[in-house]
């Protein structure tokens, strides 16, 4: 027998020498993180990173070790400088507010350091539970399929790849033929991730037809039918229609049941981008508008938006498990499963998406559902819709404000109309107003453009927001506008 090698490096590892000292620092970090969350209603919404901290982010690659206390202090120094989405008056884009509970699951997930590509271990069962819950949430059949991912962008790629391969036949995965004939349909209000998925899948963004919307910002169904007919007449192969449940500009929900009818008649795959809006199925107020979700072939949505799981966490739900698996499964010999032992477990996520190694996102999702329950999560969604509706009503009352789109879900788009400014100047004024608001730090909206008009866009996907925050926002808009008016010479 050869003697085991042992040398000076043998006794070292990346584990701490002194676990008690390590624990002290770890507890300090937990305290700092809790303080951050406890005070999330206070202070400025967004504060740019100070120059000193920016400088700390342009250091050479460290060759030597740094004491853990110093590392922890450095990490803690970044805590105040998030985008602001933990603050109740963050109204920009569509960001979730996050939840303190997730601090707990993230600690456990880091300790387990689980890789959920496959194999038989505890984390896999937790993810399977999350998949089951998502099925139940959307009334999908027990044999449907799903995978936890980082967000709707990649979930869209996974869903549309399944749709593409179903349309072309799975042998296209080897032969790579025929993509030039495929075309799909979505509305002009679609999120950019849909066109990006067409690009990534080799379909080309021109193969995505953007159908105009009606006055409610919902896809014009007559125009959809016409375009499908034209494409068929031109010898193209329509394969997918993509509905939106909660559009990014104004929060509109396409007529999903009507889209399901058209998809059925035309034999198209129905995919729904429900990034934030699909979660509305948990709100008794929104659920009636979302009944069509259960007829979809696939849904992409996020836990990190309206369900407030901390970034990042999204999901791809696919009705046909077989299609989903055949679009991705391709296991080489070193990943072969076994009947028992560590390589067992019938379901390996590697067979359902582009990634092999995957972290334990499922745990924070599991915690969110378990800790709060769907009823409370739904109440938070209803509350945000009421706040957006209240804002819409107040905008309509105020002479200086003009509502630019109906309020359906959590988004209210309007502009400040300063007398004496023409259309171009108004656009510049509202752009400047939003930047001024962000810099003032009291409330942070973002902008969008609606029918050529620059809009102040208020999105409320935030469980911390109260009605009083809406009043503060309106006062702040008036104050910031008064300051700006002189700059614009009116
Ligand atoms: C946010 C959003 C996306 C993209 O989702 P990510 O999780 O950021 O990848 C897609 N569609 C809509 C409607 C969105 O609001």
Query: Each residue of 145-196: pLDDT tens digit?
Result: 999 999 999 999 999 999 999 999 999 999 887 667 999 999 999 999 999 9
- Taking the centre of ligand 1 as the mean of its atom positions, its distance from the CA of residue 349, in whole angstroms, is 22
So what's the pLDDT on residue 176?
A: 82
- Taking the centre of ligand 1 as the mean of its atom positions, its distance from the CA of residue 461, in whole angstroms, is 13
Q: What mean pLDDT do residues 89-113 have?
A: 97
So what's the pLDDT on residue 437?
A: 98
Tell me, using a 6 A CB cutoff, whether residue 254 lines ligand 1. no
Tell me, using a 6 A CB cutoff, whether residue 243 lines ligand 1. no
The residue whose C-alpha atom lies closest to atom 5 belonging to ligand 1 is: 152
Band (pLDDT 50/70/90 cuts) for residue 213 is: very high
Q: What mean pLDDT do residues 459-479 have?
A: 98
pLDDT for 325 beyond 60: yes
How far apart CA 368 and CA 98 sit, in angstroms, is 10
Band (pLDDT 50/70/90 cuts) for residue 486 is: confident
Pick the range with the lowest mean pLDDT from 205-214, 286-295, 325-334, 478-487.
325-334
Tell me, using a 6 A CB cutoff, whether residue 152 lines ligand 1. yes
pLDDT for 1 beyond 60: no
Band (pLDDT 50/70/90 cuts) for residue 277 is: very high
Q: What mean pLDDT do residues 442-456 have?
A: 97
Query: Mean pLDDT for the chain?
Result: 95
**pTM to 2 decimals?**
0.96
pLDDT for 337 beyond 70: yes
Tell me, using a 6 A CB cutoff, whether residue 349 lines ligand 1. no
Residue 298 tokens read as: 């696939």
User: Which of these, 259, 232, 233, 231, lies nearest to 245 by C-alpha position?
Assistant: 259
Query: Each residue of 367-422: pLDDT tens digit?
Result: 999 999 999 999 999 999 999 999 999 999 999 999 999 999 999 999 999 888 99
As to burial, measured by CB atoms within 10 angstroms (0-12 exposed, 13-18 middle, 19+ buried), residue 400 is middle
- Percentage of the residues of the chain whose pLDDT score is greater than 70: 97
Tell me, using a 6 A CB cutoff, whether residue 315 lines ligand 1. no
pLDDT for 2 beyond 70: no
Band (pLDDT 50/70/90 cuts) for residue 59 is: very high
So what's the pLDDT on residue 184?
A: 98
Q: Of the residues 92, 149, 151, 310, which should be mutated to test ligand 1's pocket, given the most ligand atoms within 8 Å of the CB?
A: 151
Contact 117, 349 (CB under 8 A): yes
Tell me, using a 6 A CB cutoff, whether residue 96 lines ligand 1. no
The residue whose C-alpha atom lies closest to atom 7 belonging to ligand 1 is: 151
Tell me, using a 6 A CB cutoff, whether residue 194 lines ligand 1. no
Tell me, using a 6 A CB cutoff, whether residue 275 lines ligand 1. yes
Q: Can you list the alpha helix ranges (DSSP code H) found in 207-360?
A: 221-233, 256-266, 321-328
Contact 363, 105 (CB under 8 A): yes
HSE value, Cβ hemisphere, 13 Å, CA-based, for 272: 33
Contact 463, 308 (CB under 8 A): yes
So what's the pLDDT on residue 330?
A: 83
So what's the pLDDT on residue 168?
A: 93
Contact 262, 235 (CB under 8 A): no
Tell me, using a 6 A CB cutoff, whether residue 276 lines ligand 1. yes
Tell me, using a 6 A CB cutoff, whether residue 153 lines ligand 1. yes
Tell me, using a 6 A CB cutoff, whether residue 231 lines ligand 1. no
Tell me, using a 6 A CB cutoff, whether residue 314 lines ligand 1. yes
- Percentage of the residues of the chain whose pLDDT score is greater than 90: 90
pLDDT for 11 beyond 80: no
Band (pLDDT 50/70/90 cuts) for residue 490 is: low
Tell me, using a 6 A CB cutoff, whether residue 459 lines ligand 1. no
- Taking the centre of ligand 1 as the mean of its atom positions, its distance from the CA of residue 95, in whole angstroms, is 9
pLDDT for 334 beyond 90: no
pLDDT for 104 beyond 70: yes
- Taking the centre of ligand 1 as the mean of its atom positions, its distance from the CA of residue 305, in whole angstroms, is 9
- Taking the centre of ligand 1 as the mean of its atom positions, its distance from the CA of residue 311, in whole angstroms, is 13
So what's the pLDDT on residue 6?
A: 67
3-state secondary structure of 148: strand
- Taking the centre of ligand 1 as the mean of its atom positions, its distance from the CA of residue 403, in whole angstroms, is 24
- Taking the centre of ligand 1 as the mean of its atom positions, its distance from the CA of residue 149, in whole angstroms, is 13
Query: Each residue of 278-301: pLDDT tens digit?
Result: 999 999 999 999 999 999 999 999
Tell me, using a 6 A CB cutoff, whether residue 273 lines ligand 1. yes
Q: What mean pLDDT do residues 236-262 have?
A: 98
Tell me, using a 6 A CB cutoff, whether residue 477 lines ligand 1. no
pLDDT for 8 beyond 90: no
- Taking the centre of ligand 1 as the mean of its atom positions, its distance from the CA of residue 274, in whole angstroms, is 8
Q: What mean pLDDT do residues 107-135 have?
A: 96
pLDDT for 265 beyond 70: yes
- Taking the centre of ligand 1 as the mean of its atom positions, its distance from the CA of residue 410, in whole angstroms, is 14
Tell me, using a 6 A CB cutoff, whether residue 218 lines ligand 1. no
How far apart CA 223 and CA 342 sit, in angstroms, is 54
Residue 437 tokens read as: 């608001």
Q: Of the residues 188, 248, 279, 310, which should be mutated to test ligand 1's pocket, given the most ligand atoms within 8 Å of the CB?
A: 248
Contact 91, 411 (CB under 8 A): no
- Taking the centre of ligand 1 as the mean of its atom positions, its distance from the CA of residue 464, in whole angstroms, is 21
So what's the pLDDT on residue 341?
A: 82
């Amino acid at each position: 027998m050869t003697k085991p090698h042992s040398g000076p490096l043998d006794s070292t590892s990346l584990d701490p020498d002194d676990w008690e000292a390590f624990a002290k620092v770890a507890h300090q970090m937990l305290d700092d993180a809790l303080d951050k969350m406890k005070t999330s209603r206070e202070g400025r919404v967004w504060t740019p990173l100070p120059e000193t901290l920016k400088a700390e982010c342009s250091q050479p690659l460290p060759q030597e070790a740094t004491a853990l206390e110093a590392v922890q202090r450095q990490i803690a120094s970044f805590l105040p400088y998030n985008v602001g989405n933990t603050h109740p008056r963050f109204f920009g884009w569509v960001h979730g507010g996050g939840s303190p509970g997730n601090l707990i699951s993230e600690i456990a997930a880091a300790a387990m350091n689980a890789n959920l590509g496959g194999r038989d271990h505890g984390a896999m069962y937790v993810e399977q539970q999350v998949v089951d819950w998502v099925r139940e949430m959307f009334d999908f059949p027990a044999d449907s399929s799903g995978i936890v991912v980082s967000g709707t962008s990649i979930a869209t790629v996974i869903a549309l790849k399944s749709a593409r391969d179903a349309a072309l036949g799975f042998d296209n995965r080897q032969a790579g033929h025929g993509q030039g004939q495929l075309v799909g349909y979505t509305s002009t209000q679609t999120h950019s991730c849909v066109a990006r998925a067409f690009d990534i899948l080799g379909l080309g963004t021109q193969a995505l037809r953007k159908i105009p919307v009606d006055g409610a910002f919902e896809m014009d169904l007559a125009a959809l039918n016409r375009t499908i007919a034209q494409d068929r007449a031109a010898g193209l192969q329509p394969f997918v229609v993509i509905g939106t449940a909660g559009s990014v500009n104004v929060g509109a929900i396409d007529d999903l049941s009507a889209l399901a009818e058209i998809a059925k008649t035309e034999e198209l795959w129905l995919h729904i981008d429900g990034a934030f809006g699909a979660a509305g199925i948990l709100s008794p107020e929104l659920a009636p508008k979302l009944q069509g979700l259960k007829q979809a072939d696939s849904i992409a949505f996020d836990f990190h938006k309206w369900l407030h799981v901390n970034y990042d966490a999204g999901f791809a739900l696919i009705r046909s498990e077989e299609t989903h698996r055949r679009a991705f499964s391709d296991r080489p010999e070193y990943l072969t499963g076994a009947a028992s032992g560590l390589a067992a477990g019938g379901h390996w996520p590697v067979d359902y998406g582009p990634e092999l190694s995957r972290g334990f996102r499922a745990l924070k999702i599991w915690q969110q559902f378990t800790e709060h329950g769907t009823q409370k999560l739904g109440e938070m969604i209803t509350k945000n819709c009421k706040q957006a509706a209240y804002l819409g009503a107040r905008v309509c009352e105020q002479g200086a404000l003009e509502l630019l789109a109906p309020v359906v879900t959590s988004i209210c788009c309007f502009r400040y109309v300063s007398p004496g400014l023409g259309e171009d100047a108004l656009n510049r004024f509202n752009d400047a107003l939003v930047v001024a608001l962000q810099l003032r730090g009291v409330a942070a909206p973002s902008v969008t453009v609606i029918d050529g008009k620059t809009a102040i866009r208020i999105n409320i996907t935030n469980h911390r927001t109260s009605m009083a925050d809406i009043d503060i926002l309106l006062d702040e808009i008036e104050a910031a506008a008064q300051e700006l008016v002189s700059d614009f010479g009116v």
